[in-house]
Amino acid sequence: LELARLRGAMAQSGASLQNYNNELVRCIEDLREKREEVNRSIAKDEEEKAKIQNDLRILTERLARINDNLARKIASRNEYDKTIQETEAAYGKIMESSQTLLHVLKRESVNLTKNKQKSGAQ
């Protein structure tokens, strides 16, 4: 009787051990599935990161080209501004000189007319 009870206890213990083993295997499989899920997510994120880095490189190169173009165009505009300013200043001086010359001519014309009238009156 004692032997039968011992065999029964051992059989029950063996069944429990098998259940633990099965549960442990299931847990390991679950962990592996979750790990694979995380691994796929990592691969997806790394792919997106590489794409963004490439886009960033392209945009950075474009920005550098635009900055260079802007610098050249701003320098060109500044040259235009300087030339326009100098030309307007020179034009202003020409206008002043023309006005002065016109006044001088009118005064001389009046003087010549007066002198002619004086000469004609004598």
pLDDT in tens, the chain (122 residues): 677 776 776 777 777 878 888 899 999 999 999 999 999 999 999 999 999 999 999 999 999 999 999 999 999 999 999 999 999 999 999 999 999 999 999 999 988 888 888 776 66
Tokens of 58: 């392209």
75 CB-contact burial (10 Å; exposed 0-12 / middle 13-18 / buried 19+): exposed
pLDDT for res 114:
85
pLDDT for res 13:
76
pLDDT for res 11:
72
Q: What is the pTM of this model?
A: 0.57
Q: 93 Cβ partners below 8 Å, 6+ apart?
A: none
Tokens of 64: 């550098």
pLDDT for res 26:
96
Taking the C-alpha atoms of residue 89 and residue 78, their distance in angstroms, rounded to an integer, is 16
pLDDT for res 121:
63
Q: What is residue 79's DSSP assignment?
A: H
pLDDT for res 74:
98
pLDDT for res 4:
75
Q: Where are the alpha helices (DSSP H) in the chain?
A: 2-121
